[in-house]
Structures are given as structure tokens and as C-alpha cells.
Amino acid sequence: MNKFYSIIDSPSISSISERLALSSIAATLGKDSVIVEVGTEQGGSAKILSESSQATLYTIDIGDHIYGSTVDRSRFIFFQGNAKAFKNENPDLNIDFLYIDGDHSFGGVREDFDTLYAMLKPGGIIAFHDVDYKHLGVLVFVETLKLFNVITDCILIDTMVIARKPESRSIRFYRNNFFLGIKL
Ligand SMILES: C[S@@+](CC[C@H](N)C(=O)[O-])C[C@H]1O[C@@H](n2cnc3c(N)ncnc32)[C@H](O)[C@@H]1O
């Protein structure tokens, strides 16, 4: 199948614009780059990322839901478990692009972020899916990161926020603050 339509037809629960955004980001990364995705499900977004890029793609999910002929799992490295277990197995990984689409609760998205953000290179790209009122935990968490400049240069495409890790700011800055009564 034509690569464009292969991306459009991938079994991902995301809009066409979000798929194209993922594909565009991945396409900018060379073969020495690393992409990490949290939340694989059927492998739809993993398919988009892996078909669009020469980078190495690691994709994490607590369950193995990958099936169907459209997803070639040999194109990416699937890790079954959570982000913490993944980090324990890959402590020296330097991530160029981190895509978070796993647990959509405030605590869940925060844990994935806190675990993997330290491995994201300064200036690296981070994207969150489902940043909307249907997923209030994700929305509040991402707004908090924006408020404290933990992520910068944010772009919203449908429900996907794409942002950058600042070159210098420390994550400790937001951990020492309160927001909406929550100790960050
Ligand atoms: C919305 S789906 C991911 C969709 C996928 N990114 C796509 O677009 O094709 C969310 C997935 O996250 C997984 N998940 C939930 N909590 C998780 C966690 N704490 N760590 C890793 N994966 C998790 C679920 O098993 C589910 O498969």
C-alpha cells in the first residue's frame, strides 16, 4: 500500500491530523534517534511512527493488544510493562521524541511523564494524546506543565499537544509547587 494511505489507515484511535503530525515528527528523526511511545494498544500509532522514520521505536504497554495484519511488530521494540519497568531495563536511553498515550488519569499520565521526562534530551519533543475535557486528568496535567514552563512551544492539533523540553529548566521547579491544591 502507498505509505501515505498506510498511515491514514492505521488502526489508531486518533484523527487524520494527529496521525499526520506524528508522521511528520517521526520523519524528521534520523537513524540514530530514539522514539518512545507509552500506550501501544493495537500498534496503530506505532505503525505510523515506525513507517515514517528511520529512528528506533520503543513502545510500551501494560498489555499486549497488538494484532492484525496491518501492524508489523518487527518494525518496533515492544515492551510489556509500565514506564518504570521500561526505564529499569533501559536506564541509559536518550529519547528524542516521547509520545504519551497510556493511562489517561492525572496520576497515570503524571507517572509516565515523571519517569520518562528525565530520559528526554534537552530540546527533545514530547507529545500527549487526548488532551481534552473527556480526559480531564490529561488536560489538567498538561496545562500544569505549560503553566510552569516544564514544556514549551506547545502546539495543539485536535486533542494532541506537541511541545518541547526546554534546554535548561529543571523538573524540580514544578515539583516544588502546588497547583489546584495538588502538590506537584
Ligand atoms: C488509547 S490506547 C493507545 C492507542 C495507541 N497509542 C494508538 O493510537 O494506536 C491506551 C493504551 O495504554 C495502555 N496503558 C494503560 N495504562 C498504561 C500504563 N500505566 N503503562 C503503559 N500502558 C498503559 C492500555 O493498555 C492501552 O492499550
Task: Tell me: pLDDT of 178 over 80.
Answer: no
CA of 30 to the centre of ligand 1 (A): 26
Task: Please give the number of the atom of ligand 1 that sits closest to the Cα of 10.
Answer: 9
CB 144 within 8 A of CB 111: no
- Fold of the 3-8+16-183 domain: Rossmann fold (3.40.50)
Q: Where are the domains of the chain?
A: 3-8+16-183
Nearest to 164 by CA among 109, 117, 124: 124
CA of 59 to the centre of ligand 1 (A): 10
Ligand 1: residue whose CA is nearest its atom 23: 102
Ligand 1: residue whose CA is nearest its atom 20: 82
- Find all residues with CB under 8 Å of 15, minimum gap 6, and list them: 158, 159
CA of 55 to the centre of ligand 1 (A): 21
Q: How does pLDDT run across 25-57, given as a tens digit for each residue?
A: 999 999 999 999 999 999 999 999 999 999 999
Q: What residues line ligand 1, using a CB cutoff of 6 Å?
A: 12-14, 38-42, 44-45, 60-63, 65, 82-83, 101-103, 108
Task: Please give the number of the atom of ligand 1 that sits closest to the Cα of 37.
Answer: 6
Question: What is the pLDDT of the chain when averaged over all its residues?
Answer: 91
Q: Is the Cα torsion angle 110, 113, 116, 122 positive or negative in sign?
A: negative
Q: How does pLDDT run across 125-159, given as a tens digit for each residue?
A: 999 999 999 999 999 999 999 998 899 999 999 99
The residue assigned the cell 494524546 is: 129
Residues 101-118 have a mean pLDDT of: 96
Probe residue for ligand 1, chosen from 14, 61, 115 as the CB with the greatest number of ligand atoms within 8 Å: 61
CB 82 within 8 A of CB 61: no
pTM of the predicted model, to two decimals? 0.93
